[in-house]
Structure formats: C-alpha cells, structure tokens
Amino acid sequence: MIADMSPLTPKTPDPNQKSLSQAPFFGSKPPVQAKLTVNEPGDSFEQEADSMADKVMRKAAPVPEQPIPDEMNPEQEMSPEGPEQAMAPEPEVEQLADPSLQRKCDHCEQEDKVQRKASGDGGQISPQLAAKLDSSRGTGSALPAGTRSFMENAFGADFSRVNIHTGSNAAAMSQEIQAKAFTHGSDIYFNEGHYNPSSDSGKHLLAHELTHVIQQGKSSVRRSPQKRTTNEMIPGFAQQHRPNVSNTTAPTIQRAKIDHGTLTWADFTGKVPKSPSYDAMTYSAIADFDMSLYPFKTLTETETGTTIQSGKKTIDCEKGMSKDKKAADHPERYKAFSVNIEPDVTKLDVKSFMWQEKSWVKKWFHDPTARAAHADTFVPGCEKAFKKAQKSAEAKCKSAVKACEKAFKKGNIADYSLGSGTATNSGECKTVLGPACVSDRMSSVTYSYKNQNEVSADASALGDCATTFRQQMIDTVLEDSSTSLLNHEQRHFDITDEIAKKITTDLQAMATAFPVKEVEACGAGNAMKKANKELKSQRSKLSKKMAAIKKTLNTYQNTYDAETNHSVNVKAQDWWNDNIDQGLPKKSGKKDKFKI
C-alpha cells in the first residue's frame, strides 16, 4: 500500500500588497515602543533613506558653471506602469519592477526598530546584542573631515556627534543581524568591507545610514550659510525630521535589502500567515534605477574654435558679432563649444534583491522540533492503513477457522495446517490457526509514503508507524522536500536576477550604439542645452527598453510556478533548473511565451 504526497496548493499574489512605487517617500517618526527591534526592509524609513542617498549621489559631482534653463533639467520618468511626465527639476527615477510576488505575505507587526542596511530577520534583538550596543555607544571614530563636510552640506545637519564603528566587533554585530551596516542612534556600525566613503557605493551606504541618524533625532539642525554651496541639495531635510523627544522611548536600528545570492531558509524571516494555503513565499524584485544619473559624469563645455559643422554645412559662430556693441561682455556667445555625452556604460548596472521579512516559510522546513511535530501528523495515516489491513485479514481468516473446525468435526484427522499455523484439535482452530492466518496475511502488508522525488518512508508493521516510519519521515522525506522547495524558491530569485542581467546587457548595448557621442553649438549655454536635449532622448529610449524587459518578469515567474506546480512536477522543475542555469529560456517547457 502506497500513500503519495498530495501536491502543494498553488500560490497567488496578494492584490492588496503595495508595490515599491506606491510606498511613501517621506516617513514620520518611528512608532513609540519599549522594545529594541530590527526594522523591515522596504518600510517608509528605508525608502526614505534610499531616496536621500540617491539624491546625495546625484549631486556628488560639482554642477557646471554654465546655468542650464529649467526646461532643460533632467525630467522625471514615471514608472513603466504610468505615463511619462516631465516634472523638472525633480530627478528622473525609473521603477524597474514592482516586487515580483511569487506568493503573498502578511505585513509584519510595526514597532520601533533597529535600522540597518542589508538583510536579516525583523523583530526584537537579542539581549546580548542590546548589551553590546549599549557598551559601544558613543565610542568609535568621527567622520573624516572631508566626508563630514560633504554630508553636512548635503543634509543641512550637524554630524559632529556621529560615531563610525568598524573592526571585528562591529562586523560581528552586523553579521548577527545579517546587515551590511546598521544605525543605532548616532552610532553607525559597518560589516567587514562595507565602510568605504571614498567609493560611490560606500558613499551611498553612508548617506543611507546618516538619514537614519536624522530619523532617530541624533543630529542637530545646522544653520545653512547665506551663500549656498553646490553640495547643499536637500534643504530642510534635517528640519523636517526633528523628533518629538518626549515621544521617543526606544532607539532604533535600521536596515535594508538582501542582494542576489544563494538562499537558505534563514533568509525567510517573514511572518507565516495564520492559515497558509502553501508552504513558502519568496518576495524578490528588480531594484530601482536612477536614469537621471546617465551619462554618469559631469558635463562640461569645451571651446573648439569659431565654427561648427551641421551636416554638410559649416556655421560661423562669429556671424553678427560685429553688430553686437556688447560683444566684449559675452565673447563666449561667438565661440564654438562641444559637450561630450558618451556614457560610462558600466554604470548601467541593474540589480535584483529579496525582501527577507516579506518572504516566509513554514517552520517545519527548517526547525527540527517543528519538523518532528510535522512528522507526527503522518503517523495516524500509517496506523490507519495497518489497522484496516488487520481488519481485512481477520475477516478473511474467519473462513479458514470455520473450515478447520468443520474438518475436525468430520473426524479422522490428526491436525489441520494453514500457512504457518497448525491446529491439533477443534479448539485450536480459533486459538492457534486463526492468529497464525492473520499474522501470515499481515506479514506481506507494508506502508510507504513517497514525496514528489520518490523519496520514501516505509513501515512493515503497525508498531513501525510511530518509530522507524516517523524517523524516516524526519530524516529523509521531509528533509528532501525541504531541499526541493528551497531550490524552487532559489530559482524564483534567480529568474528575477536573470531579468536584471538582461536589462543591464541590453541597456549597455543600446547606450554604446547611440550614434551621438558629442554635440556642438555656438555658445556654451547652447551647447549644454543641446547636450541635455540629446540626453533626454537617450534616457527616454533606455527607460522604455527597461520597461519592456521588466514586463516579462511576472510572466516568467507565473509560468515557472504553473509548470513546476511549485516544485511538485519534478520533470518540469529539472527543465527549468537547466534553462535558468543557461540564462533565461527563450520559451517555456510548453510553448513560446517570452518575447524579449
């Protein structure tokens, strides 16, 4: 007798789940709580920190001395789901992908949080970590003078009390909550290799954490000088985030997202719904990409002479100069200027990520105690099968007992044998022959429970169900099912990452192929205006390409789940494993559905 594992119930996205583009940009004060907890990636504070860090990086390079008319400032591109609109002078932000929901998730409980940059589980931190934070508070190193000056100008805040923690202790605490960096009041802790304010990525991470410092009310508002510098580009940000100190009863540690990589069940830290109809949910997405940074360099005008070439026509920039009585006051109007707009295509690099707190898995997949309890639920089925077989055997052996008794009644026999049983008188037909008959029949009865990979737990007797069968379920069947489902969830993340790679490859190829690498015009201002007009066109084309590729993500994810039946269809799962490893397949296992 074989009992097969029933397929996993299909999963559906949560229609009420907000996408990244719907999340609030600015957050209010963190809620008042008495516990020290870790925040969720993607909450309003994290979105704000990422946005502020993006703004810092957009303005990290000095702006050109020649002013650009407002209408030529980079426009804001709406996400692919909405119409494109010019909204100068706000930055152009392309929402590459709404989070790809392979399964739905309940929102985790909101409380005062430890804020960090990276990955890990939410909830209350351990007493040991809280003690380490308390003992290290106020130590560490000050921000380097140049970095501090830049960041203070950027935020309009005083960061003189900010303490930077690196080294083994900071790394150990960061690793405990699986973070690249985290903020606790005015103390910022960095994991090994992540504190590098001289690099773009390091500066972005530092700006992210400094936003958390302001959110937690640990920087004082710095009075802006009357003469603004080019780095003061977020006016009023610090003032907007002054906390109500009387309402702030617990510090926070803040953090963000997990980059693509190999998953373990420890990465699935979200709260399991009360009545889940499936076993796990992976929440992955393609990271936002700020196209306003393209071409990723500061534009400058270079004087090239007094003529420019427009097709086959040569234009004299000094034409009309003799009639301009004030020509000496603005000689640059009558000179030729060029602006190189060739991009650094390596910075067209789109990434994928996973939100751990929105990804969850049933506890038995990773917790030994929960797995043992789950194995217990299979024991009754095993026992029921043997009891049913026992009842059937007893019914069939009754006829053998009657035949034995009838034979002795007729007389002239010394004994009566059937299988392993022998009766020497009529009374033994029921006491000896009957039990032997049942035993013989039951000796051939077995119970086997197989998962989708044909890994089984077996029982050959009723007593095995609660002992050897149960242990096999724990050690082999459920372990194998856990491994299979984790691989299935990994492939969801891999698909998202392959889409991100596809976007990166195609954008880099498109940008390289743009024919216009340099523009020229008479007058520095006109040259810059022409450069920005061309860049606006190129950004628009790149954004549309991103949107087109991004739209294939949900198709891939949904078809992958449908064809593999969430890992239960082994043949389909193997097909997808092979094709994802080779890059995304041009067509699914059934028919061509993907056009990218």
Position 332 scores a pLDDT of 86
**Residue 107: CB partners within 8 Å, gap ≥ 6?**
none
What is the C-alpha to C-alpha distance for residues 84 and 2, in angstroms, rounded to an integer? 59
Over residues 252-300, the pLDDT tens digits come to 565 547 899 999 999 999 999 998 888 999 999 999 899 999 999 999 9
Comparing 228 with 492, the larger pLDDT belongs to 492
Could you tell me the two tokens for 367? 């917790």
Confidence grade of residue 354 (pLDDT, cut at 50, 70, 90): very high
Q: What percent of the chain has pLDDT over 90?
A: 52
Rg (CA), the chain: 35
Query: Is the confidence at residue 370, as pLDDT, over 50?
Result: yes
Name the amino acid, one letter, at 165: H
Helix or strand run (H / E) with residue 308: strand 307-310
Over residues 475-518, the pLDDT tens digits come to 999 999 999 999 999 999 999 999 999 999 999 999 999 999 99
Domain residue extents for the chain: 20-266
Confidence grade of residue 238 (pLDDT, cut at 50, 70, 90): low
Mean pLDDT of 415-426: 94
Query: Is the confidence at residue 433, as pLDDT, over 90?
Result: yes
Position 157 scores a pLDDT of 86
Could you tell me the two tokens for 460? 């050959």
Exposed / middle / buried, residue 586 (Cβ in 10 Å: 0-12, 13-18, 19+):
exposed
Query: Is the confidence at residue 183, as pLDDT, over 60?
Result: yes
Query: Is the confidence at residue 374, as pLDDT, over 90?
Result: yes
Query: Is the confidence at residue 386, as pLDDT, over 70?
Result: yes
Cβ atoms within 10 Å of 513's Cβ, excluding its own: 7
Lowest mean pLDDT, pick from 59-68, 226-235, 304-313, 551-560 = 226-235
Position 126 scores a pLDDT of 80
Position 363 scores a pLDDT of 96
Residue 399 phi/psi, 5-degree rounding, is -65, -35
Residue 176 · residue 201 · CB < 8 Å: no
Closest C-alpha to 339, from 531, 533, 74: 531
Comparing 412 with 36, the larger pLDDT belongs to 412
Over residues 506-546, the pLDDT tens digits come to 999 999 999 999 999 999 999 999 999 999 999 999 999 99
Strands 157-158 and 220-221, bridge-based pairing: antiparallel
Residue 307 phi/psi, 5-degree rounding, is -130, 155
Lowest mean pLDDT, pick from 103-112, 199-208, 441-450, 545-554 = 103-112
Position 327 scores a pLDDT of 81
Could you tell me the two tokens for 556? 């891939």
**Residue 20: CB partners within 8 Å, gap ≥ 6?**
42, 47, 95, 98, 99, 285, 288
What residues pair up with 347 in beta bridges, in sequence order?
none
What is the C-alpha to C-alpha distance for residues 563 and 588, in angstroms, rounded to an integer? 9
Dihedral through CA 17, CA 20, CA 24, CA 27, nearest 10? 100
Position 101 scores a pLDDT of 38
Could you tell me the two tokens for 206? 């530092």
Confidence grade of residue 123 (pLDDT, cut at 50, 70, 90): low
Lowest mean pLDDT, pick from 104-118, 147-161, 366-380 = 104-118
